[in-house]
Chain A
Amino acid sequence: AQSVSQHNHHVILSEAASLELGCNYSYGGTVNLFWYVQYPGQHLQLLLKYFSGDPLVKGIKGFEAEFIKSKFSFNLRKPSVQWSDTAEYFCAVNAMAGGGNKLTFGTGTQLKVEL
């Protein structure tokens, strides 16, 4: 079964700092990869996704992520964070073979951006 690891559980940054959140997955086959964001008190929203093609994908609100197949990684980045980026971020993977439409989520990274 696939698994997803998010090693940074809590991250605190000042506004305008750069962000990189790690995500590693364990599955050797073809995968679809996602980052979701959950703002305080809200439901999960899709930030960006990778399914094929250019390994550098751009999402909403200035976020991007890079798929590095050799490292089984899909790290999330943003050059300059804003206070409004304070939220919890979840990485998720869909294993194409046998996974069907199921996603496996990481445990999440709580990001706090200070003014």
Chain B
Amino acid sequence: DAGITQSPRHKVTETGTPVTLRCHQTENHRYMYWYRQDPGHGLRLIHYSYGVKDTDKGEVSDGYSVSRSKTEDFLLTLESATSSQTSVYFCAISELTQTYEQYFGPGTRLTVT
């Protein structure tokens, strides 16, 4: 398995509180991604990074921000959590290869009450 860890693995928080999820990789891959997984929607891209300090929005970026100050770390922040952000969040990494496959972390289950 690719060296990807996510923290925390589970979190319960209240509406309106800020939350930061961390993704850490040991593979030195250039690209990192944050997805959310919801029943009936599959995986949807929130934000991604193509290098240190280089990030861009995905299809469901509203209410989320990201930062990448080091190659190995990609942070996802919910500035003011809402119940609609209750989900399982997956981090993924990939490298500049011919085939573009992504490798996924173990996920973070976030519940916003």
Assembly CA distance A94 to B97 (angstroms): 12
The answer to whether the Cβ of B64 comes within 8 Å of any Cβ in the partner chain is no
The answer to whether the Cβ of B98 comes within 8 Å of any Cβ in the partner chain is yes
Tell me if A51 and B98 are in contact (CB < 8 A): yes
Assembly CA distance A115 to B42 (angstroms): 27
Tell me if A49 and B101 are in contact (CB < 8 A): yes
Known: A43-B105, A43-B107, A107-B41. A101 touches B50 (CB 8 A): yes
Contacting residues of chain B (4-47) with chain A, CB-CB under 8 angstroms: 31, 33, 35, 40-45
Known: A101-B50, A107-B41. A46 touches B98 (CB 8 A): no
The answer to whether the Cβ of B104 comes within 8 Å of any Cβ in the partner chain is yes
Assembly CA distance A9 to B31 (angstroms): 30
> Contact partner of A46 among B90, B103, B106, CB < 8 A?
B103
Assembly CA distance A95 to B42 (angstroms): 18
Residues of B within 8 A of A (CB): 31, 33, 35, 40-45, 48, 50, 58, 90, 92, 94, 96, 98-107
